[in-house]
Structure 1
Amino acid sequence: MQTRFAEDRLARDPLLRQANDILRTCVHCGFCTATCPTFVLLGDELDSPRGRIYLLKDMLERDTPASASVVKHIDRCLTCLSCVTTCPSGVDYMHLLDQGRAHIERTYNRPRGERLVRGILAAVVPHTGRFRLAMLAGWLTAPVARWMPGRLGALAGMATRRPALRAPTDRARVIPAQGPARMRVALMRNCVQPALDPEIDAAAIRLLTRHGCEVVLADGQGCCGAVVQHMGREEAARAFARANVRAWTQAGVDRVVITVSGCGTTVKDYGHMLAGEPDIAAEAQAISAKTVDVTELLSELGLREPVADPGLTVAYHAACSLQHGQQVKTAPKALLEAAGFRVVSPRDPHLCCGSAGTYSITQPGLSRQLRARKLETLGALEADVVAAGNIGCLNHLREGKGAPRGRPMVHTVQLLDWATGGPRPRGLESQ
């Protein structure tokens, strides 16, 4: 793609030089349109990666304030990164999109209702305690929330069940390995998982210690920064990243283990996010290099011999942040098969379920359409249980009206924990 950035601007701004390089990589081939969930739904070129790239190019090149039209199409992007997997030219769409969203945040005055919803999300979701209170409020007001329109209704209905008030990751501590320690790892404490489903973290701790890992819940670790990063609040995202890098560096760990794939994509990018900060850039790069999804680490360590044959068929839902953002595609399914499960995949596994962090709240209509599509493809499978590696996907799919009846939805680590000696996951009692 030909670009016309002013030379003096490129000389002054390294991020703009990066955007210029990314744009020049695009060859207009259009392969990305076939795998973009919003283009598949809407059929609008501006709601495809190629269309958004043109919008971002024009906005950044001319250095003009974002227009309402540009914001509409950029906001509709799920950041699923399916286009990154598809692109034959290696266009770094994620970092170009980050720059575009930051520009929008700086230059566009959103309508009051949007500002309110986005402000609440940024203030609540990255903090577990606040999120628990929000869940409790949602649970208490569920009958009213059902009738609220649009984004406010989606926000009020964010959690319509009682939150878990305790989780094994609530306090900083070190859990020793079972037997000789093979590795010292930090388990990242996600913001919402302790309130939505603390059994995932409990299963991860059991699974890791059983495989010889000393598990550190590091003091000072907080939100990964993805929520605010995707809203264009780049300084807030970098603040979260700096705190986490310092916490894990001080903990002296061999790996940073992630059970929420949306967080994993962001943490693996800390080296890039903090590259312009000399006092912490090297540490951020080191942390990014140490960060792994839990299934990557278990593949490295080797799964223990299963204690029993579960004899169940698992429908595996590949979270976008895992298969596209981190390019982790085979490890989860291979581990499940090694644990004795039969694994099946739905049609169009590359398409997003519509969760995408806070997308289900900021774009509720599109999100529901994508969820209905995903639930239909999962429901068509003859499976006993649905597994995924991201709490956002699991929670979003569980709330869908078309959720397959009698098929529990659990995290991959819960099945692996059960197969290697842990308790049967909740919801599988009759299986």
Structure 2
Amino acid sequence: MQTSIIDALRDTEDGREADRILRACTHCGFCTATCPTYQALGDERDGPRGRIYLIKQVLEGETPSHKTQRHLDRCLTCRACETTCPSGVEYAKLADIGRDLVDRQVERPLGERGLRWALSHVVAYRRRFAVVNALGQFARPLLVGRLAPLRQKLPPRRPRVDWPRATDAKRLMLVHDGCVQPVATPNTNAHAAHILARLNIRLVAPAAAGCCGALSQHLSHREQARDFARANIDAWWPYIEQGAEAIVITASGCGASITEYGYMLRNDAAYAEKAARVSALARDLSDVLAAEDLSALGDIGGGRRVAYHPPCTLQNAPGLHDHVGAVLAQAGYQLTHVADAHLCCGSAGTYSILQPEMANRLRSDKLRSLDADEPEMIVTANVGCQLHLEAAAGRPVRHWIELLTPEALGAPSRQAA
């Protein structure tokens, strides 16, 4: 695709990067076949090809409007388009640049600005989010009438699972805790720690690490996202120097961000090398377990029927690998057939809050597919997907790692005994 980027942008970092990405696009339209919003709305501007043209027009000097902003906002950043693009167009990177450019020129309504501020300044900070969640849980009985939909945004209360006691395991791995997961689904990493302890691996969650930066990145707060990345690198680096083998990701949305730290900080002289190292060490939990001998787990599944929803980030992010199905099958679970498994569930980070109508429509479609073969439960690999689906599902929705521990089946934990 030929470009004519305006002088004010041509020699900037964003201008050069956008020009590189745009020139790879041949406008073939293959991407529309896997785009959830294009499939749902049938509007070219709500598909990758149309959004690429909208961004190109802004880069070439055309003044964006609220309509431009709305079509870019409707993008889930699921990156399904990237997996079907024969030219390798890095759409997600272009979308981040485009949203930022448009947001600088088009002022959002006050309500939108307030909501987006709260998401980036409250949800992205673990302790702040914990306070808000506690207040929401306290006020849950009062959420009736028009406020009733807010109940769906409150994670259900779950009994705590303790981490395994300290062991003399010689192998060390880190785990990313993040911002929402420790509050909303605090047992996910505890289950992972129990499983890895049985494999003689000590899992450590450095307290100083926090939000991965994805939330800020997709809200056009890209410098805040880079600050989160730097803070995490600083928190992990002493353990990496001690020989940590991997940074284990149990929320694939975070993994998609962390595997791109090297790209995010490529021009930061102080962090570029460390960031690249961190990206190389980041691995999804299923990828870690797939490389281990899991025979000790036995047939814990006992043939139980499970529907697996693979998060978009685990399917489409270049730095992640999805072995969830294989690990569950090895543990004795029977995975049901799920039609259109590649389509997004509608969670997409903050998307379910900012674009509730489209998010709920996609969730309804996804739950029909997941429920079609009548599984006992639904499992996924990302906290956002888990909470979004759980709010409307008629059956349990869990992180898949829970199915590998005795607690998942109601038995006492051998590690906690």
Normalization by structure 2: what TM-score? 0.91
Counterparts of 1:167 and 1:180, CA distance in 2: 21
Which residue is 1:199 aligned to? 187
Residue 336 in structure 1 maps to residue 334 in structure 2: no
Q: Among 185, 209, 223, which residue is 2:211 paired with?
A: 223
Shift of the 186–423 alpha-carbon distance from structure 1 to 2, 3 Å rule, reads: same
| 1:159 lines up with 2:158 in the alignment | no
Match of 1:80 in 2: 78
Deviation at 1:138, TM superposition (A): 2.5
Q: Which residue of 2 aligns with 1:14?
A: 13
1:385 alignment partner, one of 377, 380, 394? 377
Supply the distance in 2 between the matched residues of 1:425 and 1:61 (Cα, whole angstroms). 58
Greater shift, 379-388 or 135-144, is seen at 135-144
* Contact 1:204–1:413, Cα closer than 8 Å, also in 2: yes
Alignment correspondent of 1:353: 345
Q: Does 92-101 or 189-198 show the bigger shift? A: 189-198
Candidates 345, 357, 363, aligned match of 2:355: 363
Quick check: 1:176–1:215 contact (8 Å CA) kept in 2? no
Partner of 2:408: 424
The alignment-based identity, stated in percent, is 40
Report the counterpart of residue 2 of structure 1 in structure 2.
2
Asked if 1:122 corresponds to 2:113, the answer is no
Q: Structure 1, residues 64-92: CA drift from partner, whole Å, max 9, x if none?
A: 55421110000000111111111111100
Evaluate the alpha carbon distance shift between residue 218 and residue 269 of structure 1 in structure 2; reply closer, same or farther with a 3 A threshold: same
166 and 194 in structure 1: CA distance in 2 versus 1, 3 angstrom threshold: farther
Q: Distance in 2 between the 1:326 and 1:383 partners?
A: 30
Which residue, out of 249, 252, 263, partners 2:254? Answer: 263
Q: In 2, are the aligned partners of 1:76 and 1:363 still within 8 Å (CA)?
A: yes
The alpha-carbon deviation at position 106 of structure 1 amounts to 2.5
Per-residue CA deviations over 1:234-274 (Å, capped at 9, x if unaligned) read 11100000000111112222211110000000000100111
In structure 1, how many angstroms separate the alpha carbons of the residues matched to 2:67 and 2:96? 18
Q: Structure 1 residues 162, 37: CA separation in 2 closer, same or farther (over 3 Å shift)?
A: closer
Partner of 2:66: 68
Are the aligned partners of 2:284 and 2:321 in contact in 1 as well (CA < 8 Å)?
A: no
Letter in 1 for 2:124: P
1:126·1:227 contact (CA, 8 Å) conserved in 2?
yes
Q: 1:142 Cα shift?
A: 3.6
Q: Assess if the C-alpha contact under 8 Å between 1:66 and 1:104 holds in 2.
A: yes
CA contact (8 A) 1:166 1:195 kept: no
What is the distance in 2 between the residues matched to 1:87 and 1:386?
30
Cα-to-partner distance string for 1:43-76 (whole Å, 9 max, x where unaligned): 10000000000001111222x5542111000000
For structure 2, the residue ranges without an aligned partner over 5 or more in a row are 412-417
Q: By how many angstroms is 1:340 displaced? A: 1.1
Contact 1:387 1:410 in 2 (8 A): yes
Supply the distance in 1 between the matched residues of 2:185 and 2:98 (Cα, whole angstroms): 34
Q: Equivalents in 2 of 1:164, 1:385: separation in Å?
A: 17
- Separation in 2, partners of 1:89, 1:396: 33
The question of 1:187 aligning with 2:175 is answered yes
Match for 1:301: what amino acid? E
Residue 394, structure 1, aligned to residue 381, structure 2: no
Hey, what's the Cα distance between the residues in 2 that align with 1:80 and 1:362? 15
Change (3 A) 1:175 1:308: same
Number of residue-to-residue matches in the alignment? 407
Matching residue of 2:198:
210
Distance 1:36 1:327 in 2: 21
Structure 1 residue 426, shift from structure 2 partner: 6.3
- The counterpart of 1:237, out of the listed 215, 225, 229, is 225
Letter in 2 for 1:69: K
Any conservation in 1 of the 2:126–2:180 contact (CA below 8 Å)?
A: yes
Matched residue type, 2:353: I
Kindly state the Cα deviation for residue 382 of structure 1 after the two structures are TM-superposed. 2.9
Q: In 2, distance between residues paired with 1:103 and 1:32?
A: 23
Q: Residue in 2 aligned with 1:280?
A: 271
TM-score normalised per structure 1: 0.88
* Superposed displacement of residue 191, structure 1: 1.1
Letter in 2 for 1:56: I
TM superposition shift of 1:314: 1.4
Measured in 2, the distance between the counterparts of 1:166 and 1:409 equals 17
Alignment RMSD, CA only? 2.3
- Deviation per CA, 1:256-296: give whole Å up to 9, x if none: 11100000000001001111110110000000000000011
Q: Which residue of 1 aligns with 2:131?
A: 133
CA change 1:247–1:330 in 2 (3 A) is closer
Q: What is residue 320 of structure 1 aligned with on the other side?
A: 312
Instruction: Output the amino acid matched with 1:100.
Output: G
Query: 1:158: Cα distance to partner?
Result: 5.6
Question: Are the structure 2 counterparts of residues 211 and 353 from structure 1 closer, same or farther at C-alpha, using a change threshold of 3 Å?
Answer: same
CA distance, structure 2, for counterparts of residue 7 and residue 161 of structure 1: 48
Change (3 A) 1:161 1:94: closer
How far apart, CA to CA, are the structure 2 residues paired with 1:213 and 1:350? 32
Q: How far does residue 126 in structure 1 lie from its aligned partner after superposition?
A: 1.2
Name the residue aligned to 1:293: 284
- Give how far 1:40 is off: 1.0
Separation (CA, whole Å) in 2 of partners of 1:232 and 1:357: 14
CA shift digits 1:214-244 (9 cap, x unpaired): 2122142111011111100011100000000
Q: CA deviation at 1:165?
A: 9.8
The equivalent residue for 1:51 is 50
Deviations 1:144-180 (A, max 9, x none): 545448xxx86x44633565697768xxxx9745x65
Work out the CA distance in 2 between the residues paired with 1:163 and 1:112: 33
